[in-house]
Structure 1
């Protein structure tokens, strides 16, 4: 093929152009996200780091309207994100508040993002608000914040933290809790001016509210009768008086738990509530449905995709250099997987993928009853996902190996044809080529990481879309990296044998069309079973209100939410491994690179904290 010949002769023209285009899109998307975050110069966005009462550092994003000064202080709000998130998840709420004249302190709760790791919950200094109470104190101390006009805002576990802070502090003049329900601890006067937002299909609603149908049951519960002591209170109606701090309202959007943080209606309700409670300057007010945060959300997605897409031409450029030339190659042999065989193998893989919750349940049983694995592997949500990924690919490899023995006798298929061996006649590795492969993977990963790191330092924007995907690493999180990388590497090697060996479809007429075809087939095999699994949860939920998979303390709900993130990760990494299999004829460059990327994603963006079950 012509493009293969260009590579062999060191041609870098087209790859260089493609690389520069990707970099331009990456930088441009980050700039757009930053402009939206800063409301095109009307908001100053800075990082702020301070110590919690127990000495653990807290990092926050401070959004200050540029007209907020010591002479012209404005209302302030602390935002706390949910359990498995970081501060960027709250940007939809925080950007819109700052555009309307509020100073917002959007924190990385302790154990998340770039804040420090939590201490043992059994220690007397453990902070159940994960830095929420200290953050409110810091907000009040800022010279451009009116300390008599402050509020708390949070989602899910972050809403519970905000709720606990507001219950104990009568100076908090407004509280918005999303994805959480007030308890018997609340009353008609405490906390002050409380808005509760919870989705009609919130998967935690039974745990949070004790009801099967929020719209029909919540307003008649003992909690609501205590908080809104009027006959027959209704959803969507404001009760009480803002001036006296007794305003109360319940809003139920038609959405699920994690989308409450990105629901336009919920954000509009929150904005109106904070306006009536804290009275920002009237000149700053913008109609509440006028929201710009989705532009930032899409821009950060485009930036992330452009960054990882740039690794495709960058890898090709490096493979044309003298040091890495020995890694060049193409898939060998005449094997290709028929549609019938593809469906059979994909079905087997689908069954393995559906072991998601059973394998995680086993791991947590081991953790609770045999050995506390969080002492060595403190990211319990990540532990479940990595354990599942490792196990299913390990099992899958043995099914592929059994198939290979039979097929090789019939067709002379070799491990070299499968992209696994560097020898034709038998399985064998080339230590020199494996070492160079690892070096190249590190170079490509290093470019992706330092691109994100540099842009985040300059523009205070990371890689995310609905969920956090990747951000810069703190020293504490760097030490977590080698604990998870080996398991992910083995998993990606085994996955490569399946996708690029057993499941390989016929090549097309060019490298690019072959890559698109193979990537599409590979993604279908990995993603469709997970989508079908999600349908088991969400079809009954949307049609009848029944939640099939909840688990102890709602644990299964959290991991099912994680499947949305996993699907996003697969959409990134499967095309990468497919491309580098085409360029090298081996599975190892893609496996090394993907293990480096996914370890970065998990270690930088996932929570280190006890699971609240």
Structure 2
């Protein structure tokens, strides 16, 4: 089947059926995720919103076990996620706590998710707990929470925030910090009942613990001697006791920083700790190794993939209408990139993408020494990624121009043949076609957003897997969408020129095989260099305990973590541009749609706050 047959009015289209199936899978996965976080009817989950002491709004998710009532209040826990996340990142811990009879308040820290935006660090009203202290007071105000049994939990920066709160509040009965190390301001008495979970291969190990080998060195440090009431404390053992609130323990799983937020073993240890310290109702208790949070995590991934997969048959159906049918064209010409030219182009792309850290370093140099770009572009972590994405593609476009001139002179290759021009003899745009292209992309994007927004409003789950990918937007983040969209649009247009133009592969025996192999090859070309960067960082970490590129204050480690998110985004969106290139013969529809989708992902999920370096 070719593109013309795909739109043949005499052929029965399967697009409506595929669209319905994708929608059904999306709704089913969303429902399963919602039921999981409700422990299949044993926990009430609700959105709550309240004002911080400085007037900034905080959004949180409240997980209330049915057994928690005013006449029999339950213990409560506030959970705060890490620096680059939102409240749902804590679901693994929070779902398991709530289904064991503990009320949980998991917050969007200020500057994250749907909470408000923090002011500058030197603002007199700046809240160093990012809403954590106010959230603790909110939890205490709930009539079904026992204020004598309150605990705090957090990961990474969130762990630091709850640690700081617990230091100053002797009423906190239990503290679990993961991906963060207690400091020399802790003692054998304060914070009360403290469990530290820290991975052997935590990338921030040297910054947080000043150790080269955490397993061998940490328990012998001066900090640990101040905290543990024993001469030679050991990893994994409990010291002190829960009865007088002096229990202490360091648990070291053999995992990385990110993994501590989604480790079944670490979660089990945290559950047992809170059980011993807060004493929830025994009838509600479930063995700590019986965990259901992975069901939600996989369900939201399936929901996200299904939701975006809906755009493929929906686009096909819209292109069959009279309004948009003029956009559909087969891929023109016979040009295909094979052999040595293909390998050379792939290698060049890999070299350019490997400039990830140097390009980001330059941006932060500009920000620190020349001009503070966060005034106009407040998503500083996103700024680094967008800056790299833009410059990689701009430099690649310079090479493309040289390559095209040679191909045009030698073989008569045209820009029309590559899907870039609407005229054969020269580069030319068609205003009517471009307007329709933008209109169709807008319809598809709004469909994707409205579906996610509606389901999130009803079921309180968003698109995520380990990392937050896409969620509903506040008014402020809608403005950010318009700020970042033009930059990402340029990047995706230039990427489309490279992937679907210069690097276009030969047509396969069937249309579907061309799409599948084209999508797979495009993913490999773009993602492989990023995987190489991860190998470069993590092989030495696992082998000798050292991560090669750390950067000032560990900023390169944070951007190494971002690579996992970027790879996930690329795997999801590259088939979309491949699909629409094949059915329109042009790069533009896929580029505009992908730019809109990725902008949504970035502005809805990324942090607006000072970088802790």
Provide the C-alpha distance between the structure 2 equivalents of 1:10 and 1:581, rounded to a whole number of angstroms: 23
Unaligned runs of at least 5 residues, structure 1: none
Residue equivalent to 1:176: 176
Residue equivalent to 1:556: 556
Residue equivalent to 2:566: 566
Residue equivalent to 2:189: 189
Shift, 1:261, TM fit: 0.3
Residue equivalent to 1:515: 515
Provide the C-alpha distance between the structure 2 equivalents of 1:334 and 1:411, rounded to a whole number of angstroms: 11
Shift in alpha-carbon separation, 1:253–1:12, aligned structure 2, 3 A? farther
Shift, 1:187, TM fit: 0.3
Q: Are 2:608 and 1:608 equivalent residues in the alignment? A: yes
Residue equivalent to 1:299: 299
Are the equivalent residues in 2 in contact too, given 1:33–1:297 (CA < 8 A)?
Answer: yes
Shift, 1:317, TM fit: 0.4
Shift in alpha-carbon separation, 1:10–1:146, aligned structure 2, 3 A? farther
Shift in alpha-carbon separation, 1:11–1:604, aligned structure 2, 3 A? farther
Provide the C-alpha distance between the structure 1 equivalents of 2:54 and 2:283, rounded to a whole number of angstroms: 40
Provide the C-alpha distance between the structure 1 equivalents of 2:233 and 2:417, rounded to a whole number of angstroms: 70
Residue equivalent to 2:208: 208
The CA deviation string for residues 543-562 of structure 1, in whole angstroms up to 9 with x for no partner, is 11111010000000000100
Shift, 1:340, TM fit: 2.5
Residue equivalent to 1:438: 438
Residue equivalent to 1:85: 85
The secondary structure found in structure 2 opposite 1:300 is: helix
Residue equivalent to 2:336: 336
The CA deviation string for residues 401-429 of structure 1, in whole angstroms up to 9 with x for no partner, is 11111011111110011111011111000
Shift, 1:508, TM fit: 1.1
The CA deviation string for residues 322-343 of structure 1, in whole angstroms up to 9 with x for no partner, is 0001100011111001132222
Residue equivalent to 2:324: 324
Shift, 1:272, TM fit: 0.3
Are the equivalent residues in 1 in contact too, given 2:3–2:582 (CA < 8 A)?
Answer: no
The CA deviation string for residues 424-460 of structure 1, in whole angstroms up to 9 with x for no partner, is 1110000110111000001001111011000000000
The CA deviation string for residues 538-588 of structure 1, in whole angstroms up to 9 with x for no partner, is 001011111101000000000010000000000011100000000100000
Residue equivalent to 2:153: 153
Provide the C-alpha distance between the structure 2 equivalents of 1:115 and 1:11, rounded to a whole number of angstroms: 50
Provide the C-alpha distance between the structure 1 equivalents of 2:448 and 2:10, rounded to a whole number of angstroms: 23
The secondary structure found in structure 2 opposite 1:289 is: coil
Are the equivalent residues in 2 in contact too, given 1:11–1:320 (CA < 8 A)?
Answer: no
Provide the C-alpha distance between the structure 2 equivalents of 1:242 and 1:461, rounded to a whole number of angstroms: 36
The secondary structure found in structure 1 opposite 2:14 is: helix
Provide the C-alpha distance between the structure 2 equivalents of 1:110 and 1:340, rounded to a whole number of angstroms: 51
The secondary structure found in structure 1 opposite 2:177 is: strand
Q: Are 2:164 and 1:164 equivalent residues in the alignment? A: yes
The secondary structure found in structure 2 opposite 1:469 is: strand
Shift in alpha-carbon separation, 1:611–1:11, aligned structure 2, 3 A? farther
Worse-superposed segment, 419-428 or 338-347 = 338-347
The secondary structure found in structure 1 opposite 2:237 is: coil
The secondary structure found in structure 2 opposite 1:480 is: helix
The CA deviation string for residues 333-367 of structure 1, in whole angstroms up to 9 with x for no partner, is 11001132222101100000011110100000000
Residue equivalent to 2:414: 414
The CA deviation string for residues 61-107 of structure 1, in whole angstroms up to 9 with x for no partner, is 00000121111110000000000000000000000000100000000
Are the equivalent residues in 2 in contact too, given 1:3–1:511 (CA < 8 A)?
Answer: yes
Shift, 1:9, TM fit: 2.6
The 5 A counterparts of 1:143-292 are 143-292=143-292
Provide the C-alpha distance between the structure 2 equivalents of 1:401 and 1:253, rounded to a whole number of angstroms: 51
Residue equivalent to 1:587: 587
Are the equivalent residues in 2 in contact too, given 1:10–1:321 (CA < 8 A)?
Answer: no
The CA deviation string for residues 130-165 of structure 1, in whole angstroms up to 9 with x for no partner, is 000000000000011001100000000000000001
Residue equivalent to 2:134: 134
Provide the C-alpha distance between the structure 2 equivalents of 1:307 and 1:65, rounded to a whole number of angstroms: 31
Provide the C-alpha distance between the structure 1 equivalents of 2:357 and 2:547, rounded to a whole number of angstroms: 15
Unaligned runs of at least 5 residues, structure 2: none
Q: Are 2:312 and 1:312 equivalent residues in the alignment? A: yes
The secondary structure found in structure 2 opposite 1:61 is: strand
Provide the C-alpha distance between the structure 1 equivalents of 2:387 and 2:432, rounded to a whole number of angstroms: 30
- The number of equivalent residue pairs is 613
Are the equivalent residues in 2 in contact too, given 1:74–1:102 (CA < 8 A)?
Answer: yes
Provide the C-alpha distance between the structure 2 equivalents of 1:382 and 1:204, rounded to a whole number of angstroms: 21
Shift, 1:40, TM fit: 0.5
The 5 A counterparts of 1:370-381 are 370-381=370-381
Worse-superposed segment, 298-307 or 504-513 = 504-513
Are the equivalent residues in 1 in contact too, given 2:377–2:383 (CA < 8 A)?
Answer: yes
Provide the C-alpha distance between the structure 2 equivalents of 1:100 and 1:142, rounded to a whole number of angstroms: 18
Residue equivalent to 1:485: 485
Q: Are 2:423 and 1:423 equivalent residues in the alignment? A: yes
Shift, 1:13, TM fit: 3.0
Shift in alpha-carbon separation, 1:264–1:374, aligned structure 2, 3 A? same
Residue equivalent to 2:347: 347
Provide the C-alpha distance between the structure 2 equivalents of 1:8 and 1:438, rounded to a whole number of angstroms: 24
Residue equivalent to 1:384: 384
The CA deviation string for residues 158-210 of structure 1, in whole angstroms up to 9 with x for no partner, is 00000001011011000000000000110000000000001110000100001
Shift, 1:16, TM fit: 0.5
Q: Are 2:463 and 1:463 equivalent residues in the alignment? A: yes
Provide the C-alpha distance between the structure 1 equivalents of 2:511 and 2:603, rounded to a whole number of angstroms: 34
Provide the C-alpha distance between the structure 1 equivalents of 2:3 and 2:42, rounded to a whole number of angstroms: 48
Shift, 1:21, TM fit: 0.6
Shift, 1:4, TM fit: 3.0
Provide the C-alpha distance between the structure 2 equivalents of 1:147 and 1:339, rounded to a whole number of angstroms: 70
Shift, 1:12, TM fit: 6.5
The secondary structure found in structure 2 opposite 1:63 is: strand
Shift in alpha-carbon separation, 1:429–1:540, aligned structure 2, 3 A? same
RMSD over aligned CA atoms reads 0.9
Shift, 1:231, TM fit: 1.2
The 5 A counterparts of 1:516-555 are 516-555=516-555
The secondary structure found in structure 1 opposite 2:112 is: coil
Residue equivalent to 2:447: 447
Are the equivalent residues in 2 in contact too, given 1:10–1:320 (CA < 8 A)?
Answer: no
Shift, 1:8, TM fit: 4.2
